[in-house]
């Protein structure tokens, strides 16, 4: 509320999208909740769905030989939970999804005697997505997974439109040149992490940006991947 020339103006109530992540998560505690997987009332994730989030890593290979490890398949209850986390701001689901990311990174970058472990670099939200949400989904997942990522190892450049409705080739063209890597990563071995991989265009763009600064991307890791991702390897 504010006074303006003797009158009183009631300011509009802020929307949930404009709230900070801590306040939004606190409000979520007070709001009615349903299972993020099956919609069962009065539970964040029901026991039956929670069992479906146990990591079961799979290894894929993108064009150009980039190995991608995903902890879950992006379908059914997993897809519902990821969308609830990213689109409806249910931040507490990061704790449910993070073990899949941790398992993926562990498989993507196993320890090698006498070799320093790769550094973790997260794919950032687009500037538009960061403004809309007020937080970065991958950044939070990295923290909940107990990983330490290079701060702003990759920077998303502005001016890129939504990717959701684009096919594989259109996504690849749209993503080209959309990321920039820190020059200080030159010479380091890197594991790129993201939440969901569909066509792989974002991960390939991340590898391009990192390679342009002299980094070596040894693999990528994500929470989940679509069943359509080609060339599954045992």
**Residue 69 in tokens:** 């490890």
**Position with higher pLDDT, 229 vs 115:** 115
% of the chain surpassing 70 pLDDT: 76
Q: How, if at all, do strands 189-197 and 216-225 pair?
A: parallel
Distance of alpha carbon 171 from alpha carbon 90, whole angstroms: 27
| Sequence-distant (≥ 6) Cβ neighbours of residue 193 within 8 angstroms | 101, 104, 105, 120, 121, 122, 123, 138, 141, 142, 147, 149, 220, 221, 222
Domain 55-225 is found in CATH 3.40.50: yes
**Position with higher pLDDT, 97 vs 127:** 97
Distance of alpha carbon 70 from alpha carbon 196, whole angstroms: 8
* Mean pLDDT value across residues 89-96: 94
Residue 64 pLDDT level (bands cut at 50, 70, 90): confident
């Amino acid at each position: 509320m504010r006074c303006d020339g003797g009158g009183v103006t009631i300011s509009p109530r802020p929307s949930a999208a404009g709230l900070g992540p801590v306040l939004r998560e606190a409000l979520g505690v007070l709001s009615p909740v349903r299972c993020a997987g099956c919609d069962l009332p009065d539970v964040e994730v029901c026991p039956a769905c929670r069992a479906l989030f146990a990591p079961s890593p799979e290894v894929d290979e993108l064009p150009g030989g980039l190995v991608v490890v995903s902890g879950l398949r992006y379908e059914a209850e997993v897809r519902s939970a990821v969308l609830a986390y990213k689109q409806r701001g249910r931040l507490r689901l990061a704790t449910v999804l993070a073990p899949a990311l941790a398992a993926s990174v562990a498989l993507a970058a196993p320890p090698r005697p006498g070799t320093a472990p790769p550094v973790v670099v997260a794919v950032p939200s687009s500037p538009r997505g960061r403004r809309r949400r007020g937080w970065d989904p991958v950044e939070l997942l990295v923290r909940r997974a107990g990983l330490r990522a290079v701060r702003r190892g990759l920077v998303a450049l502005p001016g890129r439109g939504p990717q959701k409705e684009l096919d594989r080739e259109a996504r690849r063209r749209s993503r080209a040149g959309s990321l920039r890597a820190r020059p200080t990563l030159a010479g380091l071995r890197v594991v790129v992490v993201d939440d969901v991989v569909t066509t792989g265009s974002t991960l390939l763009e991340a590898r391009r940006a990192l390679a342009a600064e002299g980094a070596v991307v040894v693999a990528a890791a994500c929470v989940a991947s679509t069943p359509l991702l080609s060339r599954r390897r045992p």
